[in-house]
Amino acid sequence: MKKTLANYSMFLTATVLLWIKTYFVSKFYFNIPLENKMQQFILLISPISTVLLFFGFTLFFSGKARNRMILFISFIGSIILYANIVFYRFFNDFITIPVLFQTSNMGDLGSSIFELINVTDIVFFIDVIILVVLMKFISAKPGHVTKKQVASVFAAALALFAVNLGLAETERPQLLTRTFDREMLIKNIGVYNYHIYDIFMQSRAQAQRALADSSEIVDIENYVKANRVKPNENFTGIAKDKNVFVIVLESTQDFVINNTVDGEVITPFLNELITESYYFPNFYHQTGQGKTSDSEFLLENSLYPLPSGAVFFTHSQNEYDGMPKKLKEEGYYTSVFHANNKSFWNRDVMYDTLGYDRFYDVNSFNVTEENSIGWGLKDDDFFQQSIKYVKNLPQPFYTKYITLTNHFPFTLDEEDQLIPPWDSNSGTLNRYFTTVRYMDEAVKNFFERIKEEGLYEDSIFILYGDHYGISENHNKAMSQFLEKEVTPFESAQLQKVPFIIHIPGHEGKVIDTVGGQIDMKPTILNLLGIDARDQIYFGNDLFSEERSDFAVFRDGSFITKDYVYTKNICYDKATGLETEMEHCEPYKEKSETHLDLSDRIIYGDLLRFFNKEEQLLLKNSQK
């Protein structure tokens, strides 16, 4: 009995400690809703199969070597769990394999990462500390175990996983084939099984390109064209041959528009601008883990970003029918202004793929300690320094500005604070209002300079929020600000971002249609009078009188005119209360189809076939 105890004491202790720690983090740290006792039980047992499997490999060793391996695996398991904890603190999401390989971004994260790490986080490694202590005080060393015993451990791990998956399938049918929602996977198969599954899915995605053929794109083309609505002819070409300024309002959510904090107006310039612009108050961001780069991908391609990682990283060498490429064909000069490293989000590679003529990165600006903060050059300096370039661009031009100052952790020098920080339990939200206000002023000053340079009258301005700034981890403070509870329904509504189209000389108008970033490309091209019917895209003209009110999020949630579907619950938009699922079912199928077809295009690089076939048809028609 003593020999058996010596053989398995460290093994069992490490297994139980990592299992229980993982369960407690999943239940009490990650904001995972559990609706019944079965889901509670699934969450409890989900980590054990992988934990047992990992530690099972240590049984091939004996003596000190086994104990060292147990300690090593326990440490690796804790690192994986802790990485998800830190990532979740801001993104309210879980790490995927593509995110881990986005290492070129890490050097630029700086204060953002340190803001998310706490000294008390040592508690998440308590099991490793306990094992180190036990190794020093346990004198008996584990001996060899038989092959039968090792096989029994692996068999037990597989049996437990089968039970876990069987129970999960009863709660969530087709769990592993509907992977838009990572939270659902974590809830049902656990953190470690989720990462194993993610590795499998990424490997499969890599194989999809090699196995893809031209027949797939034909079916997708037929679907998207059948679901495309006719653009509003009253708006077709009203901005023809005008310069296009696209301004990306970093981390700006729509709740700050026409709102105040402690009596201070948060966005005075944007509030004034929308009175003489086309403003879309029911416009939603649709980004995934690529955040700002995902919003750019949506803008330029009217395709959805991927369920994990950033398309700018994982599929930058694909062939796309990007808006810059299309505009160049129409005589436009295309450029981007962004005072960050050109390699951040792999932009230098992706911009070439999309067809941009010029990228003005950080090396195009004079960045000093005095004019930069947080992620780099302050917005006002960024806009002002860009004028010397933009006034000399060949016209007509299409140029995109990506702002930086209103970026987590939302720090700002005191002399730049036009309103004081708010007072709540969330320092992030408190600072957010000051950086939004600063950005608003910087945009105002930019408009004034554009007018001074004589570029204003012959240009149109597209302003949009790229993604949320305040995650669900700050719901308590947001409830205080909004003076109402932030339920899953309200959280979905908070994904609204500003979308403003300003055309000098046009009167302001509020367009209530429900839409999203997927709709930006067809809307802009129609305003410019450019026909893109020969392209494959999923959005529709936001001015179209034939469009249906619809926006789907990357996790499969969606918004319509009357309903909100999120967290597997259908809500009545008028009341905010749960309603029968039958109301959401038709849109649910549409949402999943859109995401699936878009993913197939990207994973298979299917537009390479579409373009080649189009060119062949064109050549044949000219013979």
Q: Where are the alpha helices (DSSP H) in 33-181?
A: 37-56, 63-91, 97-100, 106-109, 111-116, 126-137, 147-171
Q: 10 Å Cβ neighbour count for 391?
A: 13
| DSSP calls for 287-354 | --TTHHHHHHHHHHH--PPPSSS-HHHHTTTS----HHHHHHHTT-EEEEE--S-TTGGGHHHHHHHH
What is the distance between the alpha carbons of residues 83 and 303, in angstroms, rounded to a whole number? 30
Q: Report the interhelical angle of 2-28 vs 63-91 (nearest 10°).
A: 0
Q: Give the number of C-alpha atoms closer than 13 A to the C-alpha of residue 294, restricted to the C-beta side.
A: 23
- DSSP letter for 578, please: B
What is the distance between the alpha carbons of residues 99 and 109, in angstroms, rounded to a whole number? 13
- Asked whether the bond before 409 is cis by omega within 30 degrees of 0, the reply is yes
Token representation of residue 492:
């979905």
**In sequence order, what E strands does 173-254 have?**
243-249
Q: Residue 564: which of 540, 539, 536, 583 has the closest Cα?
A: 583
Burial class (CB in 10 A: 0-12, 13-18, 19+), 445: middle
Q: Is 292 designated active site?
A: yes
What is the distance between the alpha carbons of residues 138 and 548, in angstroms, rounded to a whole number? 68
Token representation of residue 105:
């971004």
Residues whose CB is less than 8 angstroms from the CB of residue 429 and which lie 6 or more positions away in sequence, other chains included = 422, 470, 474, 477, 478, 481
Strand 550-552 versus strand 358-360 pairing type = unpaired
Residue bearing tokens 């959005």: 539
Q: Residue 296: which of 274, 316, 280, 281 has the closest Cα?
A: 316
Element (H, E) at 397: strand 397-402
Burial class (CB in 10 A: 0-12, 13-18, 19+), 346: buried
Q: What angle do CA 370, 372, 373 make, to 5 degrees?
A: 115
Q: Which of 292, 403, 434, 435 is catalytic?
A: 292
Catalytic residue numbers? 292
